[in-house]
């Protein structure tokens, strides 16, 4: 698995010398669980531009939250208007095809995620919880850019999974046109750190979403951090 060291990328981005290979040190790094990728002239050029604004990390202007990058406890934007607008546009287009979507879960605060995670741990144990629930600060639902979607049928019964509905069948090839990616893809679990979730949409804008869709990339691959 290819992982590029965040610290070095950040230093380079901040010092504005990301094109300069000569400055890069590949001294051993202390972070446990991180694999060091030796930076070369070749892969230096393709590192994302990293910015940290009020504790929120953006790469090439795209907010990133995953098991490695967290959001501050007080980051509390609510579901952003551009996301609501894109959702409305997409589900209206779906309705024209006779499809009925519902938003199952939208914005979640740090504290709500903490509660959810703790409940999961209490019920299923930590190992199981870690597979299905993000740690507080590590859920995309706190970003205001992500939500869970369902069909009216799948959302009202546990007998039908969203993956098997005509709504999902349509959405998987249409979501990018509205700026959404299916964030946690099948077969990419090792990269995203999350099991396949056909229902979890993340807004990244039409251009990035279309590029990821066309090339079959998840966000970490698109940003060249895995």
- 197 counts as catalytic: yes
Nearer to Zn ion, 103 or 160 (CB): 103
Cα three-residue angle 158-159-162, rounded to 5 degrees? 75
Q: Contacts with Zn ion: how many residues (CB under 5 A)?
A: 2
Q: Which of 197, 211, 215, 220 is catalytic?
A: 197
Nearer to Zn ion, 138 or 200 (CB): 200
Q: What is the DSSP string of 102-141?
A: EEEE----HHHHHHHHHHHHHHH-HHHHHHHSPPTT--GG
Nearer to Zn ion, 200 or 226 (CB): 200
**Tokens matching residue 72:** 């501050």
Site string for Zn ion, 181-200 (x = CB under 5 A): -------------------x
What part of residues 135-164 is at the interface with Zn ion (CB under 5 A)?
148
Cα separation, 139 vs 113, in Å, equals 7
Nearer to Zn ion, 10 or 103 (CB): 103
Cα separation, 138 vs 141, in Å, equals 9
Find the shortest distance in angstroms from Cβ 142 to Zn ion: 11
Residue 62 backbone dihedrals phi, psi, to 5 degrees = -105, 125
Find the shortest distance in angstroms from Cβ 141 to Zn ion: 6
Find the shortest distance in angstroms from Cβ 135 to Zn ion: 14
| Rg of the chain over all Cα atoms, to the nearest angstrom | 19
Find the shortest distance in angstroms from Cβ 139 to Zn ion: 8
Beta bridge partners of 58: 51, 63
Applying CB under 5 A, the residues found at the interface with Zn ion are 148, 200
Active site residue ranges:
197
């Amino acid at each position: 698995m290819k992982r590029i060291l965040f610290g070095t990328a950040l230093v380079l981005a901040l010092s504005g010398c990301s094109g300069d290979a000569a400055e890069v040190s590949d001294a051993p790094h202390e972070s446990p669980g991180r694999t060091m990728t030796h930076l070369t002239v070749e892969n230096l050029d393709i590192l994302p531009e990293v910015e940290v604004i009020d504790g929120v990390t953006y790469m090439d202007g795209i907010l990133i939250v995953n098991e490695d990058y967290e959001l501050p406890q007080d980051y509390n934007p609510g579901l952003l208007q551009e996301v609501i607008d894109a959702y409305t546009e997409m589900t209206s287009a779906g309705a024209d095809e006779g499809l009925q979507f519902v938003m199952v879960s939208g914005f979640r605060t740090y504290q709500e995620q903490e509660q959810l995670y703790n409940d999961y741990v209490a019920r299923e144990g930590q190992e199981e919880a870690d597979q299905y629930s993000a740690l507080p600060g590590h859920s995309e639902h706190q970003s205001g850019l992500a939500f869970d979607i369902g069909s009216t049928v799948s959302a009202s019964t546990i007998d039908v999974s969203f993956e098997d509905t005509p709504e999902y069948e349509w959405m998987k090839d249409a979501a990018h046109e509205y700026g959404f990616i299916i964030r946690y893809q099948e077969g990419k679990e090792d990269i995203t750190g999350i099991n396949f979730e056909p229902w979890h949409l993340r807004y990244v804008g039409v251009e990035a979403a279309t590029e990821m869709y066309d090339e079959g990339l998840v966000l970490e691959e698109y940003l060249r951090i895995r």
